């Protein structure tokens, strides 16, 4: 019997990283044992591909079988091969319409990003010339207007309240194409019907794993779909709403894996 563990990364698997990514030794050992028994372990994150797979692979801080990025829109195996990609299908000119709407919505909006399968462009409010690193020039928008398919778009606001209002505005203007999920002051925005739970279901079906053998772990609002859909675990620092919907509230991901391994041993 094969199990899947699907965990959020920031605030869940990695609960603190002031001096770099840190995962406690108990959790790392539990992941190793879990995978050694033929089970599948991976991260389900709101991060886009370039902030997920390459970072986790290069830093080599934990072992994994898959990464579901872009809030459920894309999945990559441990070698970086695409398992699936559920793109936003919009229209030519969408990028400029979307970026303009977001950045002009309020002075409390800081930035937005357009994510493709393995690339992304970031635009900062009041920074039309971008910089040599993180932010793109506004002039790139004209080139991107030729594109009509995207993995995910996102937005970062200065506070939770502005993010909630911006979410309503995005639904009002682009609800035919987009499904925004609020995560504190951030919005992770995918194609309609795509979220962390749908991504896990798609991966589990590809791997032939029964839905009852899926365990998820998270800490914030965008984790709610996967917490409610499977055997959900809220870690100790999770928001109260997530804790109220979870099957388990445990210290960390390692504790969840130990619980599964104990069940597996008893069933064996």
Alpha-carbon span 30 to 255, nearest angstrom: 8
Instruction: Check residue 240 and give its pLDDT.
Output: 96
**Which of 153, 104, 147 has its CA nearest to residue 128?**
104
Residue 149: predicted pLDDT: 95
Single residue among 191, 219, 250 that ends a domain in this structure: 191
Note whether 20 and 59 are same-domain residues.
Answer: yes
- Same-domain pairing of 72 and 105: no
Residue by residue, DSSP assigns 110-154 as EEEEEE-SS-EEEEETT-TT--SSSPPPTTHHHHHTT--EESEEE
Question: Same domain for 95 and 34?
Answer: no
Instruction: Out of 144, 173, 191, pick the residue that ends a domain.
Output: 191
Q: Exposed (0-12), middle (13-18) or buried (19+): which is 64, by Cβ within 10 Å? A: buried
Q: What is the predicted pLDDT for the residue at 60?
A: 83
pLDDT at 57: 86
Q: What is the pLDDT of residue 193?
A: 94
In this prediction, residue 141 carries a pLDDT of: 92
Identify the pLDDT of residue 55: 86
User: Same domain, yes or no, for 200 and 77?
Assistant: yes
Q: Which ranges of the chain would DSSP assign to H, the alpha helix?
A: 25-36, 53-59, 94-103, 140-144, 160-174, 196-207, 224-229, 240-245, 253-267
Same domain as 73, residue 140: no
Please tell me whether residues 241 and 201 are part of one structural domain: yes
State the DSSP code for 38. T
Our count of domains for the chain comes to 2
pLDDT at 184: 87
Segments of the chain with pLDDT less than 50: none
Q: Say if residue 231 is exposed, middle or buried (CB neighbours under 10 Å; 0-12, 13-18, 19+).
A: buried
CATH number of the domain that residue 132 is part of: 3.30.1240.10
> Can you give the pLDDT at residue 52?
92
Same domain flag for 184 and 93: yes
Q: Tell me, yes or no, whether 100 and 187 share the same domain.
A: yes
Same domain flag for 123 and 33: no
pLDDT of residue 61: 82
**Nearest 5°: phi and psi at 67?**
-130, 125
Does residue 237 share a domain with residue 180?
no
The pLDDT value recorded for residue 16 is 65
Q: Two tokens at 227? A: 């917490």
pLDDT of residue 133: 74
What Å distances lie between residue 190 and 85, 155, 225, CA to CA?
Answer: 11, 12, 14
Looking at the structure, tell me whether residues 81 and 205 fall in a common domain. yes
Q: What is the pTM of this model?
A: 0.93
Question: Tell me, what's the pLDDT at 268?
Answer: 62
How far is 155 from 167, CA to CA, in rounded Å? 9
CATH number assigned to the domain comprising residue 66:
3.40.50.1000
Structural domain boundaries enclosing 32: 4-85+194-267
Report residue 20 as tokens.
């770099």
Burial class (CB in 10 A: 0-12, 13-18, 19+), 50: middle
């Amino acid at each position: 019997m094969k199990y899947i563990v699907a965990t959020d990364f920031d605030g869940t698997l990695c609960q603190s990283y002031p001096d770099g990514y840190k995962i406690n030794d108990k959790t790392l050992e539990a992941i190793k044992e879990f995978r050694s028994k033929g089970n599948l372990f991976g991260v389900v994150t709101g991060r886009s591909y370039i902030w997920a797979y390459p970072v986790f692979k290069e830093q080599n801080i934990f072992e994994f079988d898959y990464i579901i990025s872009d809030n459920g829109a894309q999945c990559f195996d441990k070698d970086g091969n695409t398992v699936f990609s559920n793109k936003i299908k919009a229209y030519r000119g969408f990028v400029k319409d979307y970026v303009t709407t977001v950045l002009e919505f309020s002075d409390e909006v800081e930035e937005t990003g357009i994510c493709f399968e393995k690339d992304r462009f970031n635009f900062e409010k009041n920074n039309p010339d971008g910089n040599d690193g993180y932010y793109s020039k506004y002039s790139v928008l004209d080139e991107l207007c030729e594109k009509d398919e995207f993995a995910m778009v996102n937005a970062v606001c200065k506070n939770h309240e502005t993010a909630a209002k911006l979410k309503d505005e995005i639904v009002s203007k682009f609800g035919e194409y987009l499904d925004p999920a609020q995560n504190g002051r951030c919005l992770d925005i995918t194609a309609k019907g795509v979220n962390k739970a749908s991504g896990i279901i798609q991966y589990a079906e590809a791997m032939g794993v029964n839905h009852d053998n899926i365990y998820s772990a998270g800490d914030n609002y965008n984790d709610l779909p996967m917490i409610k859909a499977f055997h959900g675990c809220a870690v100790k620092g999770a928001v109260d709403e997530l804790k109220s919907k979870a099957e388990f509230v445990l210290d960390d991901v390692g504790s969840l894996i130990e619980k599964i391994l104990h069940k597996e041993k008893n069933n064996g």
